[in-house]
Amino acid sequence: MSQQIVKQRSRGFICVNAHPAGCAKNLEDQIAVITANRPASIDGPKNVLVVGSSTGYGLASRVAAAWGFGAKTLGVFFEKVPEGKRTATAGYYNSVAFHRAAERDGLWAKSLNGDAFSDELKDQAANIIRDEMGPIDLVIYSLASPKRSDPRSGQTFSSALKSIGETYTGKTIDLGSGAVTEVTVEPASPDEIAQTVAVMGGEDWQWWIDKLLSEDLLAAGARTVAYTYIGPRHTWPIYRDGTIGAAKDHVKQTSDALNERLRDAIGGAAYVSVNKAVVTQASAAIPVVPLYISLLFRVMKQKGIHEGTIEQMRRLFFEHLAADVEPTVDASGLIRIDDWEMRDDVQQEIAELWPRVTTENLGELADFAGLKRNFSRLFGFEVDGVDYDLPVETESLL
Ligand code: NAD
């Protein structure tokens, strides 16, 4: 056991440590959003697998399934465990907090900390589902990773966040200094595009579903959902029309193919949900996006429609994934919980602010302070109600 005072340590914008009590408080706040807004008679999936369940949209999905529907959840993630004085990663402490809260509230939960891309981890998950859970009725696929080791070819792929075809120059925030600067991104090579699709495309999602189908571990009518982002035009050169967009096109193609297979095999379905831009470790890595998010936060907060991951997942689970509810989809078959972000009045205001925003007026035109605070909160820092002068147990284990 190791009690210590944990102060935030950052490298640029990213924290290199995490605070267990702050992560636990964040988790309780997410649970409160779900339980306070839970419709009285709602029912939903009871056996849920979440791949990428320790942070961001995956963690919020797991909370929504467990506290929204009383579901048993199996969570899969890849996080560093604590070692002596070195804290674990935030996702690990989030998961410790999830297990404690689940046990307190009588909810079954199990987690696997390892590489979701590997065959071994899929085998371990299948064993737990077969022996302890019973057939899964919802699979959420919410991985975000810079690398993937392909167990079949033995190759390791790396994703690149680049434009395709042309060099892109655009506005961005230097997250360390808070300066609004220009970033130039060279176009990706064909190999970089292919590797990004291999990491963030749909192949591994398909392998998870193949595994569960082949071992008869999906319930009749089971659904699976993966997440994507579309966003407005000024982010397209780097997102939708860039390497990550190519990977997300592959996720959509995979979804269409999986949908047919699941329908024919078990009367099930596959969907892609378009989620709004939020602050996560993954989204910070994409140039241009943090500047856009800080403008988006300001406009959506002013309009009283600001949402974080848990508010988004509350809408996804209660309005689209509840029992006997058919998800509402757009003309392309996508679930659109980015609808408030994409509202004309929201996007028009951002389009007006975008050319005007500079280092000097960033604090006034954009919610940069909100973005920064959200970032610290991802690691359990700057969380209301946590006393950072008190020692905490950092070696808590799952
Ligand atoms: P995140 O970084 O918060 O979470 C990623 C999760 O994947 C973590 O649980 C991590 O442990 C897990 N993970 C990474 N590599 C792994 C591996 N090899 N094995 C097992 N687990 C692994 O990311 P996020 O932003 O919540 O993104 C999740 C999904 O949501 C992605 O598909 C992303 O494109 C999508 N999305 C994100 C945003 C946004 O603004 N952040 C918006 C729309 C859609």
Beta bridge partners of 273: 227, 335
In the reported structure, the alpha carbon of residue 191 is separated from the centroid of ligand 1 by a whole-number distance in angstroms of 23
pLDDT at residue 113 tops 80: yes
- What is the per-residue pLDDT across 321-372, written as a single tens digit (0 to 9) for each? 999 899 999 999 999 999 999 999 999 999 999 999 999 999 999 999 999 8
Written as one letter, the residue type at 353 is L
In a domain, 318, yes or no: yes
CATH number for 56:
3.40.50.720
In a domain, 50, yes or no: yes
Cβ atoms of residues 91 and 54 within 8 Å? yes
Which of 227, 239, 271, 292 is flagged as catalytic? 239
Q: How far apart are CA 396 and CA 105, in angstroms?
A: 19
In a domain, 153, yes or no: no
Which atom of ligand 1 lies at the shortest distance from residue 229's CA? 43
In a domain, 365, yes or no: no
- What is the per-residue pLDDT across 1-48, written as a single tens digit (0 to 9) for each? 679 999 999 887 788 999 999 999 999 999 999 999 899 889 999 999
Q: Alpha helices of the chain — where are they, by DSSP H?
A: 20-36, 56-63, 69, 90-104, 119-128, 190-200, 203-214, 243-266, 281-284, 289-302, 309-315, 344-353, 362-365, 368-378
Name the pairing type of β-strands 392-393 and 3-4: antiparallel
In a domain, 326, yes or no: yes
In the reported structure, the alpha carbon of residue 135 is separated from the centroid of ligand 1 by a whole-number distance in angstroms of 24
The answer to whether the CB of 78 is under 6 A from ligand 1 is yes
Domain encompassing residue 8: 3-146+191-283+306-342+383-393
Which atom of ligand 1 lies at the shortest distance from residue 278's CA? 40
Domain count, the chain: 1
In a domain, 211, yes or no: yes
In a domain, 164, yes or no: no
In a domain, 172, yes or no: no
Q: Which residues contact 154 (CB under 8 A, 6 or more apart)?
A: none
Name the pairing type of β-strands 335-336 and 147-149: unpaired
- What is the per-residue pLDDT across 132-163, written as a single tens digit (0 to 9) for each? 999 999 999 999 999 999 999 999 999 999 99
**Average pLDDT for 62-78:** 98
pLDDT in the model for residue 1:
64
